[in-house]
Structure 1
Amino acid sequence: MKAAFGENPKRCYKGKKIDTRMQISALLRETLAKTKEYIQKKESGKDVDYDQKLEAMIPVIKKQMPLKCHCHRADDILTVIRIAKEYDIEVTLDHVTDGRSIIPQIKESGFPCILGPCLGHKSKYEVKNMSFETANEFYKAGIPFCIITDSPVVPEQYLSLSAALAHKAGLPEYEAIKAITINPAKILKLDDRIGSIKVGKDADFVVCTKNILDTQNEIKTVYVNGKKEA
């Protein structure tokens, strides 16, 4: 389930009572509160009109599904953390462009960070602090994170390049590889199936000519479910 903060919802829904950051957070709080009330009425046996939107939010309230919160600026990230604590829900912090400026607060929250895209233009003011150095700062702080391209913003074929540039900016090589393999699998809670090569896991992997972070690397063979693709 996705929730967006910052300039995107302000721009997309301007004139529809979502013109400020305060209105964005207020709308989310209202939705979460209404969902809790909706659940209580249903579980107590009361007659309640079916609400498709609130039904969709039930897994979020019951922690069966994380709320993927897209946030760039430090104040938006902190708003997400505060709301998640208020309503006792699980969230992922997506983009976290300003994450380096509030490392202690992010670490204390325990929420995983989905970092990126860091490749490309600083297309709006709230991404002015975009940097490949953020990944290493998260690693040193012990914050769980992965690296993304936010495809199609940056094409997904540049995922390994993004990890390579994070390595160039200080992130240890092995940690850069983990940031695009096992780390996202853990955040998705799918690491029992994917993200690494291990007995019992899905045998999806590639054989390369060089290190996956090497820009001269070429993929020689692709295996899906243990079978070589033509």
Structure 2
Amino acid sequence: MMIVDGVVHPMDGPVIQRGYVAFGDGKITAVGPMEELTAVAEDALDAQGGHILPGFIDAHCHLGLFGDSLGFEADDGNESTDPCTPQLRAIDGVNPLDRCFQEAREGGVTTVLTGPGSANPIAGQFVALKTDGRWVDQMVVKAPAAMKFALGENPKSVYNDRKETPVTRMATAAIIREELSKALEYQDKQDKADQDPDTDMPDYDAKLEALAPVLRGEVPAHFHAHRADDIATAVRLSKEFGLKYVIVHGTEGYKISDLLAAEGAAVITGPCLTDRSKPELVGQTLENPALLAKAGVRVAICTDHPETPIQYLPLCAAMAVRGGMGEEEALAAITRNPAEIAGIGHRVGTLTPGKDADIVVTQGHPFDWNGKITAVFLEGRQIL
């Protein structure tokens, strides 16, 4: 199968103004200019001068965990009975038959990182999923893909209403620090028991077991943080425990962009199509992704679905262009960058031979308001 006669955005090299993408057995096999083709396959899809891109990737959302048009019955995104729930796995809560998965596909979103919300200082494990399927286990790209932590107003407001800890930023950070310290101690006891048969293995603790790969750097820590001071706390905690971390939202990241660049931090920005619904969003601006990228920070763009419906991920990237980001840079923020940040860049994010044939074809530029998505392929299967 091949897609021909389109503007190809490989995202691992220069744009090809008139090119093709070939694929077979679910993988991309070749990408190049039309002049290189000696023959066009009979079943080739003619892009008719449109654009050919990697499938879009939402680096942070809650797809399948907050049911569409439903209330408590379909709300599986926050276990707000306990401020510390690292043992929770998104894979156990995702409903792949939620119609928003179909809307994701219609919007060209072929991969998502989805997981628990931000009610808890430690919320649980995110999963990277393809957006087509009926059995979530068959859709997994990586699990766990991240451990979700949250700072700022969300934990404060949830537990203030319950008159429980935490009700301050200090307490939120303290809970995270205490649990990570317990996990280190738990690991140390396990190591000693492995080395000495006379030493008892510590009693199994699901929370501490879940945090072990985070402490080993095998699973990144995704910190929900909007305000600049909360971002600094995320960096501080990560450095204390040697975590591989990512800042999620980073609404005031532009205020400290040079410092984040110096720290080597990656930031998943968004959602941008929302109001300033809480005090920590007072500094929200469409210029944030552009200013972060200009400073040298690796940036991805998310919808935070259902905060912004997931099918509008390309529109969120277009808003970043309005805020000063280059078009290819903004496309990278919903393809290559989120794949690399999520540790799944070996499979998705670029039109590189050998990677999954997740491909989007558009009529007009993907940021063109009057354009539309004409075809979507996931692992070589046409799903739209």
TM tier, shorter chain?
A: over 0.9
1:42 equivalenced with 2:190 (yes/no): yes
- Higher relative helix content: 1
Q: Does 1:11 align with 2:157?
A: yes
- For 2:239, which of 78, 85, 100 is the aligned residue? 85
Determine if the alignment matches structure 1 residue 72 to structure 2 residue 220.
no
Partner of 2:252: 98
**Who is 2:340 aligned against?**
186
- 1:203 corresponds, among 348, 354, 357, to 357
Indicate whether 1:21 and 2:169 are aligned.
Answer: yes
CA contact (8 A) 1:177 1:213 kept: no
Structure 1 counterpart SS, 2:203:
coil
Deviates more, 1:25-34 or 1:214-223: 214-223
Worse-matched range after superposition: 105-114 or 196-205: 105-114
The residue matched to 1:13 in structure 2 has which SS?
A: helix
1:152 aligned to which of 296, 306, 321: 306
Max Rg structure: 2
- Which letter does structure 1 place at the counterpart of 2:149? A
- State the 4+ residue runs in structure 1 displaced beyond 6 angstroms: none
Does the 8 Å contact 1:90/1:111 carry over to 2?
no
Q: The residue matched to 1:44 in structure 2 has which SS? A: helix
CA distance in 2, matches of 1:151, 1:123: 15
For structure 1, the 5+ residue unaligned runs are none
Provide the residue aligned with 2:272 in structure 1. 118
Q: Give the AA of the match of 1:13.
A: Y
Counterpart of 2:347 in structure 1: which amino acid?
Answer: R
State how far apart, in whole Å, the 1-side matches of 2:210 and 2:275 are: 35
1:32 aligns with 2:186: no
TM-score by length of 1: 0.97
1:104, distance to aligned residue in structure 2 (A):
2.1
Equivalences, count = 230
Is 1:51 paired with 2:208?
Answer: no
Q: Higher RCO, 1 or 2 (CA under 8 Å, sep at least 6)? A: 2
Higher fraction of strand? 2
The one-letter amino acid of 2:164's match is K
Distance 1:221 1:51 in 2: 47
Q: Normalising by structure 2, what TM-score?
A: 0.59
Q: Distance in 2 between matches of 1:114 and 1:55?
A: 27
RMSD (Å), alpha carbons = 1.0
What are the superposed Cα offsets for residues 114-154 of structure 1, whole Å, 9 maximum, x if unpaired? 10111121111101111110111111111011011100111
1:110 positional shift = 1.0
Q: Which letter maps to 1:100?
A: Y
Contact persistence 1:6–1:21 (CA under 8 A): yes
- Aligned amino acid, residue 4 of structure 1: A
